[in-house]
Structure formats: structure tokens, C-alpha cells
Chain A
Amino acid sequence: MRVFLFLMIFLTGFSLWAQSPHLMLAAGPEWRPEKDLENKTSIHTLSNYALGAGFRDYLFILEKSSFEESSGNAALNVERRLESIMLWGEWRAPAWKAFVPYLGGGLGAYQEIVKTNLPPAPSTTRETSHKMLTGLNFGLQLEIPILWLSLEGRLLFGDELDPQPTLGALARVGLWF
């Protein structure tokens, strides 16, 4: 079912783009909060890379986000990596002053990889299966030629996310032509 939904969004986006193409290529920081051991919220900064294709008022974006953190000392430490891939469909509203508001939804998956180091013993790397991730976003894009500059808020839902839902943000800089 998840694969089917993903393919639906992808194929719809591709067919729309084929009629009157727009392309977007962007990167930027994404901020996602997460509960820590003391149940306090800490903000992680993820590297986010996106490739988009648009038609009329619609934009479909395939993005990859990831971050790494490590904890511990020289004798015992844990390195954790989180990777997510999402496909977003966004509707771009008519321009308001110099901005284009947009909202959309996304579907994808995320995976966590944990490497535990206990030198001189061999390190171990273990990973989760891919867990489903969905999201809703709302943002503003600066309407200028060629350059893509946007800022958006996003609400992510997924297996085992904490907090649930996760309210994050994303800034994007790129090209739009």
C-alpha cells in the first residue's frame, strides 16, 4: 500500500511535469525536534537535498534528509545516523506580494543506523527497517526568477517518532527554472 501511494504521487508528478516542465534543485537545513533521555526536546539539524518537478500550480519534490550524532567517550561511544526519503506534492497558491505560499503533503520512509564502538573490540552497526513517514507542510517561497528561496513549517508523522507528531522547519536555497 505504501509503495502504491508513493508510485501514485511520483507518476502523477512526472506526467504533469512532462506537459509543461519546471525544475527545482535545492538544498538547505531542516530542523526536527526530538525528545532526549531527560524527556526534554532538543533540535536536530538535518541536511536536506531536494529535486522537484512542477506543472502549473503544482510541484512534486523528492527529498533526502539526514543527520548524525554521537555520544559517549573514547572507550564507549554510540554514533547514530537518521536518513529519510520523502516525496512531497505541493500546491502553490497565487502570489501574495513577493511571496508564493504553498502547502502540501508528503509520503516516504526513514531509517536509523546505530554504530556502537567499544575499542579495541570490533564495532557493530545495526539498522532499523524502513519505517513509514508522512507529513504536511506549509511554506512561503520568495518569487524571484531562477533562484529558489523558501521557508516552510512541516508536521511529520511516523512509526516511533517522538514527539508525535514532530513539528519541524525547513529552509531551502536553490535553482528554479
Chain B
Amino acid sequence: MGISKTFCLGLVLLSLGACSWQKKEEDLGSNSVKVQIPVSENGEYRLEVVELFTLENLTHLQGSAAQFLIDPDSVSGSLKGRHPEIRYIRDNQGVIVAKDSISLQLLTTYAHLEMLQKLDREAGAEKVLSYPRKVAINVAFQNQSESSKDNAFYSGKYDALLMVPFTQPTLPLMVNAGVIAHEHFHALFQKLVIEGLKEKYPENPQFSLHEEGLRIDAKDNKKRTKYHAVFMRGLNEGLADVWGWIYSGDNFFVGRSLPSEKADRELSVLPEQLKSSAEIREAVASGESDRSLLWRSYEQGTQLARTLRSFANQYAVREKRDINQLRLPLAQWIIATLPAIKKDFETLKEDEYLSMSRVVGLFANQVPTLSSKDCTFFSDLMPLGDQPEAFVKRCADLALQQKDPQP
């Protein structure tokens, strides 16, 4: 056989062999997969290999923990978007490594939501949320009160996490463990508090529109309703910040991605006295702007978050436990407090107002081994006249028990 014939035969064989290759598409079935992602350990981020157990299709990031919708649109009241196709390599040890930054961010968000599902379960909130959690990426979002870039939102309407484009030179929000946990908490708050209140307070649609900020109808002259809209927003934000710390162990998680928020949202700062309901009522009655009231919401929320964060420190020292061991119990106490907040709201008398002091009192009720020192810690942060009766009574009982212990 001549050289030309051999050469042609070689080309034919090469062509036939080449046609057998398929495009990469990985269905994992029930197998776990190891991925390399940025992980936070007490606020220190590093690259680690973690094992994911719920991912079913790696290329499209489909699994029971999260569902991604890219460039979403609202169609007939629900979010529609295309599924991602992430780019990755599998290294010599079988570890999945994202080939580009966006793929890495998506993979990391999936991993966080899988781990947050575990936290839900351990904190006593199993089955509160429906999974897979929806995550809308690259949302085109227009809003007067909040930024349409460098932000993340939870939408009660779509029960989805909305991520708008991130343009900062800092840790991307989708990788920020605390931020993902913060937004995830809003979903828990939505299900355990807000949705239950809708029937009693149908005139407060803004409660369910977290993503649209505090939209208060100018014609709404019901100051009490407006007060509670401001209050609930602050409460939601404050508890979500604590949840962000519980999950990530990071006191600076907001500022890590959004440096302009660092000073206002840092959780390691010692708490100031909680705002009294009277102060916010006056602000509402005086006709402060919505922007100013929104700022007050966040201010109240941060005060609450710092109070609970500082309490965790004090409790850990007293119990001689590492602060990280307190993160799960704190999550359990917060989850147990949410239905109590809802019930308290439902049973408010016409002339009563919720306040951060009342919420702290409800939280203290969930702490099984509350001491008189804890009572003093909380009492010192509650404005005079705002201390809830049940809390005062429990603390008085505790003081008596600890003074005269039962045989």
C-alpha cells in the first residue's frame, strides 16, 4: 500500500474516531461531588474543597438545594429565566474547579444554600421553606429607594433571592457567606412572621415587599401602620444580620462586599441602648421622609443585631464555651422567637406598639438557661418604660431563685 493510501486511511480513521466524542454534560445522579469554593471561617476567607450532596446536574447547577434563573423575567406572576451552564474543570483528584469567576460565584452560592438548608434543619426550621430555593441572577431592578447594582434582595412575592449586577472590587455578594445567609433569613422571616400577619393586616402590603424597600403610600395616614412597617423592616434586617453571622462567623460580612456599609453594620461593636417605640412614633408622626424612615429601620435593626451578638459573647464566656459553639443555639432561639413575635403582633391592643425591647424580651424567653446577669444585660439596653412586663417578671423570678436556691 502506497504512502498516499495509508495517509488517506489514517485521515478516515481519525474522522471516524473524532465523531464519537460528545459534548460534556454531567448528570451526577445521587453521587456527591467535591468542589473548590471560597469558604469563610470566622470571617477569614480561603479556598477549600467541600463536598456537595444535592447537586444532580453539574453543568446546569440543578439540584434540590437551589435553582438558578439567569436574566429573569416575571411571567404570569412567577419568575422565568434560563438555566446556567457553568464552565469547570475536573482536576486529577476529581475536584471540580470553576474556570471563570461567574461560574465560581454560582457554584459557591449553590454550596451556601445547601449548607443553609442544613442549618434550617438544625435550627428547627425544617420544612419552613420550599426547596430548591430560587436564585435570580443579573436581575434588572428599578427602585427609587435601593440600588439597582451591588445589592442582593429577597422577594416575598417570588420567594426568591434576587442578585443584581455586582461592580465593586470587593468580595462578590454571591460568594459572601454572610450575605447569602442574611437574604436566606428574610425567607424564613417571611414564612414564620409576615405571611401569617397578612390576614390580620391586609393594608400592609409593604411587609411582603422587602425587595422594593419601604414603600409607604402617601395617602396612608394610619401612623400606627406606618410605624409597624418601619419597625418590621428593621426587625427583619437586624435578625437577618445575626443570621449572617451565625452562618459565616463573620462580624463584618456586609462591609466585606460593600465597604460603605462597614461602620453601620459591623456586629462586633458594643450595642447602644435600643430605640424606644416613642422615638420612632414621633419620627413617623412628624412626617419624616421615607428615605429617612428607611435609615431608621436599618439603625434599629443593627442595634438589635449588636445586642444579640454581644449577648452571645457574654453567654459563651459565662458558660465557658467557644463563641462558635453558641452559633447553633442562637439560631435555634431566634427561630423559636419568630412565631412568638407573630403572636405578639396579632394580639397587640389598639394602643400598643411593638418595640425592639419587646422582641428582646421574647427572645430572652427562648433562652433556657437565662441568668440574672443576662437579665441585667438586656435590661440595661431597654429604654425606661419600654421593658416588657413578661420579661421583667421572669427576671424578677430568676433573681429570687438565684438568691434563694431551692434545696
Question: Which residues of A sit under 8 angstroms from B404, Cβ to Cβ?
Answer: none
Tell me, in angstroms, the Cα distance from A105 to B15 when the chains sit together: 8
Q: Is B352 an interface residue (CB 8 A)?
A: no
A37 touches B169 (CB 8 A): no
B104 touches A76 (CB 8 A): yes
Question: Which residues of A sit under 8 angstroms from B19, Cβ to Cβ?
Answer: 157
Q: Is B14 an interface residue (CB 8 A)?
A: yes
B85 touches A35 (CB 8 A): yes
Question: Which residues of B sit under 8 angstroms from A127, Cβ to Cβ?
Answer: 89, 91-92
Tell me, in angstroms, the Cα distance from A176 to B70 when the chains sit together: 51
Q: Is A128 an interface residue (CB 8 A)?
A: yes
Known contacts being A114-B89, A118-B38, is A157 close to B18, with CB within 8 Å?
Answer: yes
Main SS at interface, chain B: mixed
Number of residues from A at the complex interface, CB < 8 A: 48
Tell me, in angstroms, the Cα distance from A163 to B102 when the chains sit together: 20
Known contacts being A75-B170, A91-B7, is A128 close to B24, with CB within 8 Å?
Answer: no
Q: Is B95 an interface residue (CB 8 A)?
A: yes
Q: Is B23 an interface residue (CB 8 A)?
A: yes
* Chain A, range 41-81, C-beta contacts under 8 Å to B: 58, 69, 71-78, 80
Distance of B104 from chain A, by nearest CB (Å)? 6
* Chain B, range 179-203, C-beta contacts under 8 Å to A: none
A73 touches B172 (CB 8 A): yes
Distance of A7 from chain B, by nearest CB (Å)? 14
Q: Which of B24, B89, B103, B175 contacts A37 (CB 8 A)?
A: B103
Tell me, in angstroms, the Cα distance from A80 to B36 when the chains sit together: 15
A121 touches B17 (CB 8 A): no
Question: Which residues of A sit under 8 angstroms from B46, Cβ to Cβ?
Answer: 118, 121-122
Q: Which of A37, A73, A123, A155 contacts B85 (CB 8 A)?
A: A37
User: Which positions in B face A, CB cutoff 8 Å?
Assistant: 3-4, 7, 10-11, 14-15, 17-19, 21-24, 36, 38, 44-47, 70, 84-87, 89-92, 95, 97-105, 168-172, 175
